[in-house]
């Protein structure tokens, strides 16, 4: 047996141990996350609780992590004031401070890394964190992900303008940021989420003009429905939006399926929420599909647990997937081929179903013969494959605005259920972080010394004609043995 050699350009030993380590790290400082942190903090264990709010104005502008729809006020640009506001609006954090928990606001968790299949080089399990200026890694024994649920937007004509937004984004802007720019809203969806959204808006002094419902009866629970009725908010069943019309500042009116129109400045999509599973997914954690709990759910794996709606919406026996489908059928029916599906990449419904590339490429005749249908003759649907070809879902919102509806479109086209279409992957960083922020400016000497552009195998880049000539040795000498660019 030979002795084990050493490859200086391999990753071995180049990742230093993280400088901070906590017994438990909790991601998400809502009430569930805070409770989880408090539970972990008994007996003096070191606990870190991070919450990404307030997120930067720039992220809000790209609808990350919620579908803000351009309806945040300029207050979100003032970071320091925003941190104060958000902090004041999270009174449940008080006991966490008292319990000695390290609480960090405006701190984003963007990746979870652990050794496992295909990775053995990490000094331990770590979570990647970042604030406005820098990123760092934190080691943990236990991780609790309590990131909540995010908006599920659905396309209809005019949805890609300021004023069309999500229920979760509205709640955030009203309850935590004090920074909602609209006044007169229409709510899409009358299940619990829609009714709660309407009541919240009303309590914050907004005018709630109507709630629209695709089915022929109010879907939410009787108690909420009674409160909405008592508040005099009309629920218009069997009536759905067909187009949002607007001007420079976005939505001014909503055209409806019964031929009428409603003047409003904001249309709040409250059709459903999706558990935020991206951190777990990027860490290749297990998941399962449960239509009654909001779709794909993360499953507990070694040292990673979930709390709150991130673990799944409350199961009230309501089939969220079927409800979304009804909405999609109605709103999708109003879409033309030219309706934008992917806002980041400006890809239309016709581009998606035609499997066409962006407009900066030619569409030669052979390509125009291809479509989602022909692709599905070659194999089962895969959203990532469609994403690679059409760029739908590939943009800077990281697919948040369109991935769910693209999955539904794919499932419908393939005649499959949503659970049978593989989820489009989530990859770190699960929030867009600038190069200079995510960069490791304090990397190890080993990393610097062993860095090579590609494998670092001296013989690989020797020109064919030079093999076995003195030039081979010269190449090795001059390039430090490799393409050590």
Partner 1 sequence: MSAQKVVVVGAGASGLSAAWWLARAGVAVTVLDKGIVGWEASGRNGGGCSHYQSPLFKEEQRLWPQMDELLGYPTEFSPERIVMAVTPRQLEQYHYIAEMNNRLGHRVDLLDASQVREAVPLAGDNCLGGIHYRFGGHANPHRTVQAYAWALQDLGGRIVQHSPVTGFQMAGGKVTAVESTSGTYECDAVVIAAGPQTGNLAAQLGIDLPLANARAEMIVTEPAPMMKLGGVDGNGLYGRQTLRGNLAYGGGPHEWVEFGDLGPEVKPSTPLTRNLARRLAELLPGAAHLGVIRSWAGVIEMTPDGRPVIDRRENVTVCTMSGVGFGLSPASGHAISDLVLEGKCSFTDIEKLGLSRFDGIEADWRTSKGWLAL
Distance separating alpha carbons of residues 483 and 12, to the nearest angstrom: 19
CB of 19 to partner 1, least distance (A): 13
CB of 162 to partner 1, least distance (A): 20
Q: Kindly tell me which of 183 and 359 has the beta carbon lying closer to partner 1.
A: 359
CB atoms within 10 A of CB 326: 16
**Own/partner long-range contacts of 212-217 (Cβ < 8 Å, ≥24 apart):** 212/186, 212/187, 212/188, 212/236, 212/239, 212/240, 212/241, 212/256, 213/189, 213/237, 213/238, 213/239, 214/189, 214/238, 214/240, 214/326, 214/327, 214/330, 215/323, 215/326
CB of 109 to partner 1, least distance (A): 13
How many residues comprise the chain? 485
Q: Are 175 and 88 in contact (CB under 8 A)?
A: no
CB of 372 to partner 1, least distance (A): 13
Tokens, residue 396: 């800077």
- Which of 281, 10, 16 shows the shortest CA–CA distance to 122? 16
Q: Kindly tell me which of 217 and 439 has the beta carbon lying closer to partner 1.
A: 439
Partner residues linked to 27 by β-bridges: 50, 145
Tokens, residue 227: 């409160």
Q: Kindly tell me which of 64 and 210 has the beta carbon lying closer to partner 1.
A: 64
Q: Kindly tell me which of 5 and 205 has the beta carbon lying closer to partner 1.
A: 5
Tokens, residue 265: 């400045």
Find all residues with CB under 8 Å of 277, minimum gap 6, and list them: 287, 296, 297, 298, 310, 426
CB of 456 to partner 1, least distance (A): 8
Tokens, residue 315: 């199961």
Q: What angle do CA 120, 33, 130 make, to 5 degrees?
A: 55
Distance separating alpha carbons of residues 220 and 189, to the nearest angstrom: 9
Calculate the alpha carbon distances from 83 to 56, 68, 166, 453 in Å.
Answer: 10, 18, 22, 41
Q: Can you give the three-state secondary structure of 168-212, one letter per residue?
A: HHHHHHHHHHCCECCCEEEEECCCHHHHHHHHHHHHCCCEEEEEE
Q: Are 33 and 49 in contact (CB under 8 A)?
A: yes
Calculate the alpha carbon distances from 77 to 63, 81, 285, 346 in Å.
Answer: 15, 9, 35, 26
CB of 50 to partner 1, least distance (A): 17
Q: Kindly tell me which of 305 and 479 has the beta carbon lying closer to partner 1.
A: 479
Q: Kindly tell me which of 191 and 403 has the beta carbon lying closer to partner 1.
A: 403
Helix (H) or strand (E) holding 403: helix 403-414
Q: Kindly tell me which of 91 and 117 has the beta carbon lying closer to partner 1.
A: 117
CB of 324 to partner 1, least distance (A): 26
CB of 20 to partner 1, least distance (A): 14
CB of 41 to partner 1, least distance (A): 27
CB of 403 to partner 1, least distance (A): 13
CB atoms within 10 A of CB 303: 14
Q: Kindly tell me which of 293 and 401 has the beta carbon lying closer to partner 1.
A: 401
Q: Kindly tell me which of 259 and 365 has the beta carbon lying closer to partner 1.
A: 365
CB of 197 to partner 1, least distance (A): 29
Find all residues with CB under 8 Å of 215, minimum gap 6, and list them: 237, 238, 323, 326
Find all residues with CB under 8 Å of 14, minimum gap 6, and list them: 121, 444, 446, 447, 450
Q: Kindly tell me which of 22 and 113 has the beta carbon lying closer to partner 1.
A: 113
Q: Kindly tell me which of 203 and 444 has the beta carbon lying closer to partner 1.
A: 444
């Amino acid at each position: 047996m030979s002795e084990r050699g050493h490859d200086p350009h391999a990753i071995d030993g180049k990742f230093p141990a993280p400088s901070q380590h906590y017994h438990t790290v909790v991601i998400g400082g809502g009430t569930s996350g805070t409770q989880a942190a408090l539970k972990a903090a008994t007996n003096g264990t070191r606990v870190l609780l991070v919450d990404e709010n307030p997120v930067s104005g720039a992220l809000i502008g790209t609808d990350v992590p919620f579908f803000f729809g351009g309806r945040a006020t300029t207050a979100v640009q003032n970071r320091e004031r925003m941190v104060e506001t958000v902090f004041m609006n999270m009174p449940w954090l008080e006991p966490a401070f008292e319990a000695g928990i390290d609480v960090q606001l405006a701190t984003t968790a963007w990746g979870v890394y652990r050794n496992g299949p295909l990775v053995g080089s990490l000094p331990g399990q770590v979570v990647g964190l970042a604030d406005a200026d820098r990123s760092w890694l934190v080691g943990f024994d236990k991780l609790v992900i309590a990131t909540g649920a995010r908006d599920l937007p659905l396309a209809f004509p005019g949805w890609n303008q300021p004023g069309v937004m999500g229920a979760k984004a509205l709640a955030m802007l009203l309850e935590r940021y004090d920074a909602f720019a609209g006044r007169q809203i229409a709510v899409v969806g009358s299940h619990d989420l829609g009714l709660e959204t309407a009541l919240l808006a009303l309590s914050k002094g907004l005018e709630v003009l109507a709630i629209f419902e695709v089915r022929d009866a109010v879907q939410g629970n009787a108690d909420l429905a009674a409160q909405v009725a008592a508040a005099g908010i009309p629920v218009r069943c069997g009536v759905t939006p067909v187009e949002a019309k607007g001007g420079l500042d976005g939505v001014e009116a909503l055209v409806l399926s019964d031929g009428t129109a409603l003047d409003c400045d904001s249309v709040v999509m409250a059709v459903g929420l999706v558990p935020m599973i991206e951190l777990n997914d990027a860490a290749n954690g297990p998941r399962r599909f449960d239509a009654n709990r909001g779709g794909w759910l993360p499953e507990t794996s070694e040292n990673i647990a979930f709390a709150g709606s991130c673990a799944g919406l409350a199961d009230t026996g309501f089939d969220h997937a079927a409800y979304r489908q009804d909405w999609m059928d109605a709103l999708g029916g109003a879409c033309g081929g030219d309706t934008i599906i992917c806002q980041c990449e400006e890809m239309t419904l016709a581009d998606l179903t035609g499997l066409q590339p962006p407009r900066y490429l030619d569409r030669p005749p052979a390509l125009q013969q291809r479509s989602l249908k022909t692709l599905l003759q070659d194999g089962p649907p895969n959203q990532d494959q469609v994403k690679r070809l059409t760029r739908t879902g590939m943009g800077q919102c990281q697919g948040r605005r369109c991935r769910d509806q693209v999955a539904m479109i794919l499932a419908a086209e393939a005649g499959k259920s949503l659970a049978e279409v593989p989820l489009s992957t989530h990859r770190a960083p699960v929030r867009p972080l600038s190069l200079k922020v995510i960069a490791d400016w304090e990397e190890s000497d080993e990393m610097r010394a062993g860095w090579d552009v590609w494998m670092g195998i001296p013989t690989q880049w020797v020109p064919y004609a030079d093999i076995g000539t003195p030039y081979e040795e010269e190449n090795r000498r001059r390039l430090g043995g490799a393409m050590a660019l």
